[in-house]
Amino acid sequence: PDAAPLRRGLPVPQGISKTAFLVAIEELRSALGPDHVTLNDKEVKNGWYMEHPNTHDMMPLFDSEEFIASAVVYPGSVEDVKLIVKWANKHLIPLFPISIGRNLGYGGSAPRVRGSVTIDLGRRMNRILEINADDFTCLVEPGVTFYALHEEIQKRGLGDKMWIDTPDLGGGSVVGNTLDRGVGYTPYGDHWACHSGLEVVLPSVGDDGDVSVFRTGMGALGVGGENTWQCFPYGFGPYNDGIFSQSNFGIVTKMGMTLMPNPGGFESFMYTFANESDLAPLIEIIRPLRISNILENVAQLRHGLQTLSVKGHPRTNYYNGSGPMPDPIIRQHLRSTATGECAWVYYGMSYGPAHIRGHKLSIIDNEFHRIPGCKRIDPATLPADEYFWSRDRIASGTPDLEELKWVNWMPNGAHAAFSPVSPIKGADAEKLYGLAKRRHGEQGLDLMPAFCVGLREMHLIVEIVYDGTDMGMKKRVEKCLRDMIDDAAALGYGEYRTHLALMDQVAGTYNWNDNALMKFNNTLKDALDPNGILAPGRCGIWPKRYRNRGWEL
């Protein structure tokens, strides 16, 4: 259902009475203006992707009212953010910052602690502060989406000169996606590696009653230091940026990002591979090509079922049985599509002028054809609405939304991901694919894996699509995800990113030397956020006030 009244009433955060909370909210309203604080006391309303809610996850893995905000606050400046931090410390109310809140598959805009006050930074802090056409860099606020940055570059007449890198969906925030270490598909696809410089508001109030704001890297220099803030990420002394990604140590109010020079030409290509067993030898072929940059972008090797599902039709169009859709049925339906019958599809792009592309593409063609049954699909044969062209847009820096279509696989389509990282080795790919297949089989779920090949590692992204209103199915999905995380950890693999609901489990797998890493994170958390107000529990990091008190899942 699109909107339903709150069954459990206003989600007041734990540790404060409803009356005291409402008084505190009025105080915040009078400080920021009544329009900039809204109470979440009426309904759970979902929209489509571009009208997503900012109070909860529109693709919930649990009950929609489990991870839900009590109120949303819209700061318009760094001063407003500082004021909100002071207010939260005074009342001990948990805050959850989002930039846009389209973190779908990983918790959307939901806070980890029920009743947190969401800081929606993106609504009002959405300026592109600079696009530097000499250095190919930009400086943005949290509300700048990939679409907005792309449009502004076109508007300034720089579209022929520079590209952005976008994830599969362009409606996310450049800052939010990068802080969660998201990926895109040009050679600048590792967003965290491509950022340069942060401005951060810290979550505590100092002895002087003030809240600290600082800039990392060259941004820390005094007057005039901004000239290299977006060109050199490190500055002098410890490199601090890392502790503000996938964490709850600070609120990022500005971020620098690098932009890619137009390479002077580009050409997408697609190959299909006939057999499931082609996976391991193909990954062995991909590794040296990727490390030596013959394969230049974060490329995708997708299972045939994903190629079918991204057509946007519901599963019932193809199959009505229970349990995972059988391979022969998948293959039968693929026969009438552009890829034809196959097990795997490789999507890639070559960059540069034609003579440079030609050289690289012929090496790739020779190498891929070492797999018997490999087919190159000629793009000239593909209609304009074929998904291939969406990959083509994304890998050349043009935001798109086609990828959303596979979410229609189930009614009330929702999804959550299992995303382990491994070396680019055939044996690793087989082990991860094998365990995913086994666990999906046990829970009767369709398996849609995609290997996203970075430079020296690959992410296996397994998206489980489920009915967001079907509690029974969601229980099976959660069981499947938790089993895969444990199986992978036992084999020495860890996730690069995870859903809010699974963060404790995933953090728990990074437990070398008696959980030394989490002990370090806890030390930082207690030092930087002694009252524990900022995003408690995010990435498994709990402040002292919450730690070991039953919040962990």
Nearest to 168 by CA among 345, 19, 49, 29: 49
177 binds ligand FAD (CB under 6 A): yes
Residue 252 C-beta: closest distance to ligand FAD, Å: 4
Work out the burial of residue 412: count CB atoms within 10 Å of its CB; fewer than 13 is exposed, 13-18 middle, 19 or more buried. Answer: middle
- Give the nearest residue (CB) to ligand FAD: 172
Task: Please give the Cα distance from 99 to 117 (Å, whole number).
Answer: 14
Concerning whether 497 is annotated as a catalytic residue, the answer is yes
What phi and psi, each to the nearest 5 degrees, are found at residue 461?
A: -105, 110
Residue 492 C-beta: closest distance to ligand FAD, Å: 24
Nearer to ligand FAD, 121 or 308 (CB): 121
Count of residues interacting with ligand FAD (CB under 6 A): 31
The total number of residues shown for the chain amounts to 553
What phi and psi, each to the nearest 5 degrees, are found at residue 466?
A: -140, 170
169 binds ligand FAD (CB under 6 A): yes
103 binds ligand FAD (CB under 6 A): yes
537 binds ligand FAD (CB under 6 A): no
298 binds ligand FAD (CB under 6 A): no
Task: Please give the Cα distance from 287 to 419 (Å, whole number).
Answer: 19
Task: Please give the Cα distance from 368 to 361 (Å, whole number).
Answer: 10
Residue of 251, 414, 445, 458 interacting with ligand FAD (CB under 6 A): 251
The amino acid sitting at 187 is: P
Nearer to ligand FAD, 334 or 452 (CB): 452
Task: Please give the Cα distance from 318 to 215 (Å, whole number).
Answer: 53
98 binds ligand FAD (CB under 6 A): yes
Work out the burial of residue 488: count CB atoms within 10 Å of its CB; fewer than 13 is exposed, 13-18 middle, 19 or more buried. Answer: buried
Span 386-405, contacts to ligand FAD by CB under 6 A: 403-404
Residue 367 C-beta: closest distance to ligand FAD, Å: 25
C-alpha separations of 488 from 169, 209, 435, 459 in Å: 28, 46, 8, 13
The one segment of 65-73, 91-99, 216-224, 226-234 that binds ligand FAD by CB under 6 A: 91-99
Task: Please give the Cα distance from 226 to 222 (Å, whole number).
Answer: 9
182 binds ligand FAD (CB under 6 A): yes
Nearer to ligand FAD, 199 or 487 (CB): 199
Residue of 53, 60, 142, 197 interacting with ligand FAD (CB under 6 A): 142
Task: Please give the Cα distance from 166 to 172 (Å, whole number).
Answer: 9
Residue 49 C-beta: closest distance to ligand FAD, Å: 7
Nearer to ligand FAD, 150 or 538 (CB): 538
The one segment of 27-35, 168-176, 476-484, 502-510 that binds ligand FAD by CB under 6 A: 168-176
Nearer to ligand FAD, 426 or 454 (CB): 454
The one segment of 104-112, 342-350, 375-383, 430-438 that binds ligand FAD by CB under 6 A: 104-112
115 binds ligand FAD (CB under 6 A): no
Q: Are 66 and 187 in contact (CB under 8 A)?
A: no
420 binds ligand FAD (CB under 6 A): no
Nearer to ligand FAD, 110 or 371 (CB): 110
Angle at 164 (CA atoms; ends 163, 166), nearest 5 degrees:
135
167 binds ligand FAD (CB under 6 A): yes
302 binds ligand FAD (CB under 6 A): no
104 binds ligand FAD (CB under 6 A): yes
Residue 447 C-beta: closest distance to ligand FAD, Å: 17
Catalytic option among 147, 346, 347, 496: 496
What is the DSSP code string of 131-194? EETTTTEEEE-TT-BHHHHHHHHHHTT-TTTEE----SSTTSBHHHHHHTT-B-SSTT-BHHHH
Residue 120 C-beta: closest distance to ligand FAD, Å: 9
Q: Are 36 and 48 in contact (CB under 8 A)?
A: no
Strand 457-467 to 420-423 pairing: antiparallel
100 binds ligand FAD (CB under 6 A): yes
Concerning whether 496 is annotated as a catalytic residue, the answer is yes
Residue of 149, 150, 538, 540 interacting with ligand FAD (CB under 6 A): 538
Ramachandran region of residue 78, left (φ > 0), alpha (ψ -120 to 50) or beta? alpha
Catalytic option among 106, 147, 346, 466: 106
Angle at 173 (CA atoms; ends 91, 412), nearest 5 degrees:
90
Concerning whether 493 is annotated as a catalytic residue, the answer is no
99 binds ligand FAD (CB under 6 A): yes
436 binds ligand FAD (CB under 6 A): no
The one segment of 132-140, 178-186, 230-238, 282-290 that binds ligand FAD by CB under 6 A: 178-186
Catalytic option among 123, 290, 391, 497: 497
Q: Are 300 and 452 in contact (CB under 8 A)?
A: yes
179 binds ligand FAD (CB under 6 A): yes
458 binds ligand FAD (CB under 6 A): no
Residue 209 C-beta: closest distance to ligand FAD, Å: 23
Q: Are 331 and 341 in contact (CB under 8 A)?
A: yes
Q: Please write down the HEC assignment for all residues of 405-439.
A: HHHHHCCCEEEEEECEEEECCHHHHHHHHHHHHHH
The one segment of 5-13, 177-185, 210-218, 270-278 that binds ligand FAD by CB under 6 A: 177-185
Q: Are 551 and 535 in contact (CB under 8 A)?
A: no
The first and second tokens of residue 13, run together, are 């955060």
- All residues at 6 or more sequence positions from 171 whose CB lies less than 8 Å from its CB, including other chains: 49, 50, 100, 102, 145, 146, 147, 399, 401
Residues at the interface with ligand FAD (CB under 6 A): 97-105, 109, 121, 142, 167-169, 172-173, 175-177, 179-180, 182-183, 251-252, 403-404, 407, 535, 538
Residues labelled catalytic: 106, 496-497
